[in-house]
Amino acid sequence: MGIRKNWKVWSLFSLLCLIWGSSFYLIKLGLEAYSPIQVAVVRLGCTLPFVAPFALKFLRQLSRTSLGYVIVVGLLSTLIPSFLFALAQTKVNSATAGILNATVPIFTVVIGYLGFRKTINRVTFLAIVIGLFAVGTIILKRSDETLSINQLAIFILLATFGYGLNINTVKAKLKEIDAFAIAMVSVFFSGLLVLPLLILDWQSYRLDTQAHDLKPLWALLTLGILGTALAQYLQNAIIKLTDTEFASSVTYVIPIVAVFWGLLDGEEVNLTTIVAGICILLCVYLIRRG
């Protein structure tokens, strides 16, 4: 059955867009009461009770080689991006973070060409160049007739580079492994790695209910359970049902959802950022067509 007529694929795709598109706003809510490191730790730590029973079951079914790749997938798609996005969003609003996240397909194709022997035609190459130029207009800041780079925005690009590497790794090295197993085991190990931070400094994660409402905590719990555990399963399932390029094209819709939440919360998104975001999405479209 073709992708266009496969309702299962499109249902998973739509749900993933909604979850990931909302994740930038949830990070923003978490940062109202927690530090960036705490946001990442709570996000990952709260997934453990949900993924551990499944992960321990699947661990016995994985070879050492496959387990190694699954752990790498966890680092690239879960652990490292959780810290990078939380750090970046102390200075980058949630709408802009969602727009920059649209660079995933660009990095997916570049990494596929450089490391996985995939081909790039002229149209794709041109789209990549234009897309990177558009990214540059977003991360550059103008102040007193001088230009400077928003260094924290680069953290988002590092995260999306990791996503691109992750997508290629899953398709090339874990094609025969169940998507649910990949998601549960990779998230499980990411949660384990931050667990010492959560245990050793657990008192700092407690909210004074008189000083704060519980919205930041609930936002991070939602982010961890849906935006991390469930989203990883959805992405891996889509990769296995389709191809890496279609899976990465989830970023067509993610910026729209992210900008919606940002504007609803009163964020200021300038015209340059919007135009650059549209340009990035057009480049992603050309990459898909190419």
Note the pLDDT tens digit of each residue in 177-232: 888 888 899 999 999 999 888 887 766 666 554 555 778 888 999 998 888 778 87
> Burial code of 170-190, b = ≥16 C-beta within 10 A, e = fewer?
bbebbeebebebbbbbbbbbb
Reference 93, options 268, 270, 255, 276; nearest CA is 268
Length of the chain: 290
Quote the CA–CA distance of 130 and 209 in Å, as a whole number. Answer: 48
* CA atoms within 13 A of residue 100's CA, in its CB half-sphere: 29
Phi-psi region of 35 (alpha: psi -120 to 50; beta: other; left: phi over 0): beta
Quote the CA–CA distance of 75 and 102 in Å, as a whole number. Answer: 20
Say what the pLDDT of residue 82 is: 94
Does the pLDDT at position 9 exceed 60?
Answer: yes
**What percent of the chain has pLDDT above 90?**
33
Quote the CA–CA distance of 91 and 230 in Å, as a whole number. Answer: 27
Say what the pLDDT of residue 1 is: 46
As given in the structure block, the two tokens for residue 235 are 């992405």
Reference 236, options 252, 225, 221, 248; nearest CA is 248
Of the pLDDT bands very low, low, confident and very high (cuts 50, 70, 90), residue 86 is very high
Query: For 62-66, what is the mean pLDDT?
Result: 91
Say what the pLDDT of residue 88 is: 95
Does the pLDDT at position 17 exceed 50?
Answer: yes
Say what the pLDDT of residue 273 is: 86
